[in-house]
Amino acid sequence: MAVGLQAPLASSLRPVAGCELGWAQAGIRKAGRKDLLLVRLAEQASAAGVFTRNRFCAAPVQVCRAHLASGVPIRALLINSGCANAGTGAPGLADAMRTCEAAARLLGCEPAQVLPFSTGVIMEPLPVDAIVKALPAAVARLDAGGWLEAAETIMTTDTVPKAASASCRLDGAGVNVTGIAKGAGMIRPDMATLLAFVVTDAAVVPGVLAELTRRAADRSFNRITVDGDMSTNDSFVVAATGRAGAPPIADLDDPRCGGLERAIGDVAQQLALAIVRDGEGATKFIRILVEQALSQSEASTVAYAVAHSPLVKTAMFASDPNLGRILSAVGASGIRDLDPSTVQLYLNDVWVARDGARHPDYREHDGQRVMRGAEILVRIVLGRGGAHATVWTCDLSHQYVSINADYRS
């Protein structure tokens, strides 16, 4: 039940020169579904990633970090669903490495040039043999036009495949940026992983790409929350194949950086918002905007406190304008010197609380009208400074509990 979200048209997804995608059915958890994706990158592509900060990070996350740190050019991404390979200790690391070795043999590169990603049940061993056996079929399907099927392959409880494209011009050369993602949170918890892969045919040196990746994450995946849980496997990787023909961007002061940053950021934000709109059980798409904070960090803290409050989220589900819950969440967010009398609260165009108390002109039917919509803006003005932050989230519904309480079968 995605909120205002439809599957992208295959024709809207721009092929990226130097990037091919192929899927296979490895039968990792269920037979007869696409569960293995191979992404082949041109030689000398650069890649960068941001990963979960969960200390119980999965084996593939550890392998990704090591392979990226080794400095060799990345030639392939290998993604499986159905098993997270997390909480699996040293054998899990060896399993992730074996899948890299198998892919490297087929592609004629080094294992360190393959980045592995897994999503699925935690604390169960990766079925390496099934993956190795299915890999040739994925290689056989490698195709630059395979983006939509790639997005379908990494879906778990997502109801809509998530993919987006953007383009820009660098020195007159047209550059494409295309990405895919799968959802996280408010999602079947044994598969509660955010995975996102964005590829561009621009040429970017690794150090610059790493910074562009961090910036894109901070404005997209790091600004969404569904249930506040941080997966063991969350990964966001950006690769640049350099096949568009423009000379490489070698430092952040390069004037072309801005255009590429916007294109990558645009794709990342489209994917991130699609994840929220398709949050499992979601019936509302909610933007929380905190303004006039002392710092951006303070604004974020308040926005997340509101976004994570189960009482706010259930009120949104019920279209119940019980808006004191929002003030309460602001008050509980940990800003010790917050003065309630400078706080304003708006719901879309409705001024709900003025100077920390119910606005005298506020009428509940006005709040109700906004709450009944599928898209809601909660605007909180702190009256403390000039910083602001946005967080996107969804509501907490019966279906969230159903999905997460279902036994893994």
Question: In this complex, which beta carbon is closest to a second copy, that of residue 45 or of residue 126?
Answer: 126
Q: CA 235, CA 221: separation in Å to the nearest integer?
A: 10
Using DSSP bridges, classify how beta strands 285-293 and 387-394 pair: parallel, antiparallel or unpaired: antiparallel
Please list the residues that pair with 170 across neighbouring strands. 173
Please report which helix (H) or strand (E) contains residue 96, including its range.
Answer: helix 89-107
Q: Which stretch binds a second copy (CB under 8 A): 151-159, 160-168, 256-264, 356-364?
A: 356-364
Q: Is the dihedral of CA 378, 261, 274, 296 positive or negative?
A: negative
- Answer yes or no whether residue 405 interacts with a second copy by CB under 8 A: yes
Catalytic residue among 193, 200, 213, 232: 193
Give 330's Cβ-side CA count (13 Å radius): 29
Q: Is there a catalytic annotation at residue 159?
A: no
Question: In this complex, which beta carbon is closest to a second copy, that of residue 167 or of residue 193?
Answer: 193
Question: In this complex, which beta carbon is closest to a second copy, that of residue 141 or of residue 354?
Answer: 354
Q: Is 108 exposed, middle or buried (0-12, 13-18, 19+ CB in 10 A)?
A: exposed
Of 222, 292, 322, 348, the one binding a second copy (CB under 8 A) is 322
The count of chain residues that interact with a second copy, using the rule CB under 8 A, is 69
Give the number of other Cβ atoms within 10 Å of residue 97's Cβ. 20
Could you give the maximum distance between any two Cα atoms of the chain, in Å? 71
Residues 20-59, one symbol each (x = binds a second copy by CB under 8 A, - = not), give --------------------------------xxxxxx--
- Tell the smallest beta-carbon distance from residue 47 to a second copy (Å): 25
- Answer yes or no whether residue 309 interacts with a second copy by CB under 8 A: yes
Of 74, 286, 347, 353, the one binding a second copy (CB under 8 A) is 353
Q: Which residues in 148-186 are b (16+ Cβ under 10 Å) and which e?
A: bbbbbbbbbbbebbbbbbbbbebeeeebbbbbbbbbbbb
Question: In this complex, which beta carbon is closest to a second copy, that of residue 289 or of residue 318?
Answer: 318
Of 341, 349, 373, 375, the one binding a second copy (CB under 8 A) is 341
Q: CA 302, CA 379: separation in Å to the nearest integer?
A: 11
Residues carrying an active site annotation? 193
Positions that interact with a second copy (CB under 8 A): 52-57, 84, 86-92, 121-124, 189-190, 192, 227-232, 308-311, 314-315, 317-318, 320, 322-325, 327-332, 335-336, 338-341, 343, 353, 355-358, 396-398, 400-402, 404-408
